[in-house]
Amino acid sequence: MKSRKWNFHFLLFLLIQFVPMEIVPATILDLNALRKLEKESFDRDAWPLFDLMAVLSFPDVVRLKAVEDHHMVGFVAGDPRPRDGWGWIATIAVDPRYRRRGIGRALLKACESKLGVPRSRLTVRMSNLGAIQLYEQDGYVSIDMWKSYYSDGEDAKVMEKEL
Ligand SMILES: CC(C)(COP(=O)(O)OP(=O)(O)OC[C@H]1O[C@@H](n2cnc3c(N)ncnc32)[C@H](O)[C@@H]1OP(=O)(O)O)[C@@H](O)C(=O)NCCC(=O)NCCS
């Protein structure tokens, strides 16, 4: 009896390991999950509630979530500006417990493919070396630096990729 129970838990463990991550559109129903993800990922840079509601509801915004085991484990939003010829990756974050598993890269690529513009741009804190490495690996190059862009005075690196 005991070993049958153990077998069941082992099977469950194996199943959870192989539950695939999927990337699907996010909606306003994801507001609470996104709020939590933002707080955990950005701390002082976390968007206020209004901005989160806007990103989940404004027309034309590309908003995608990574889902694993029925939970949002990552989010990306893109803002296409067809008249400028580029779109902005407005935010990207992965749940700290799910990082370094390729989810950030997959979200970025999925968002780029839905922007419908020739180039993609983004801003990143100069000190955010992990994110900068992700962007450089994905083909972004540095095109500008915006001085004191962030609330604490840190500069932003502006990066661009030909899509
Ligand atoms: C940046 C972020 C989205 C990356 O998500 P992720 O799912 O961990 O990224 P991936 O697993 O797809 O990483 C792809 C590659 O990017 C690079 N990378 C990602 N995070 C890194 C880190 N912390 N340090 C160094 N390199 C890193 C690596 O080269 C990695 O490939 P590898 O794991 O094979 O070495 C995630 O760390 C995060 O949410 N950070 C907090 C929010 C944030 O800073 N967002 C960006 C704002 S501009």
- Three-state SS annotation for the chain: CHHHHHHHHHHHHHHHHCCCCEEEECCHHHHHHHHHHHHHHHHHHCCCHHHHHHHCCCCCCEEEEEEECCEEEEEEEEEEECCCCEEEEEEEEECHHHCCCCHHHHHHHHHHHHHCCCEEEEEEECCCHHHHHHHHHCCCEEEEEECCCCCCCCCEEEEEEEC
pLDDT digits (tens, 9 = 90+) for 80-138: 999 999 999 999 999 999 999 999 999 999 999 999 999 999 999 999 999 999 999 99
Q: Give the domains, in start order, of the chain with CATH numbers.
A: 20-162 (3.40.630.30)
108 C-alpha vs ligand 1 centroid, how far in Å?
11
What is the rounded average pLDDT for all residues in the chain? 93
Pick the atom of ligand 1 nearest to 100's CA: 11
pTM: 0.91
**pLDDT for res 38:** 96
**pLDDT for res 9:** 72
Ligand 1-lining residues (CB < 6 angstroms): 41-42, 92-94, 99-105, 124, 128, 130-131, 133-134, 137
16 C-alpha vs ligand 1 centroid, how far in Å?
23
**pLDDT for res 7:** 74
- Residue 16, pLDDT > 60, answer no
- Residue 3, pLDDT > 80, answer no
**pLDDT for res 20:** 86
Q: CA nearest 110: which of 89, 129, 130?
A: 89
- Residue 2: pLDDT band by 50, 70, 90 thresholds? low
Pick the atom of ligand 1 nearest to 122's CA: 48
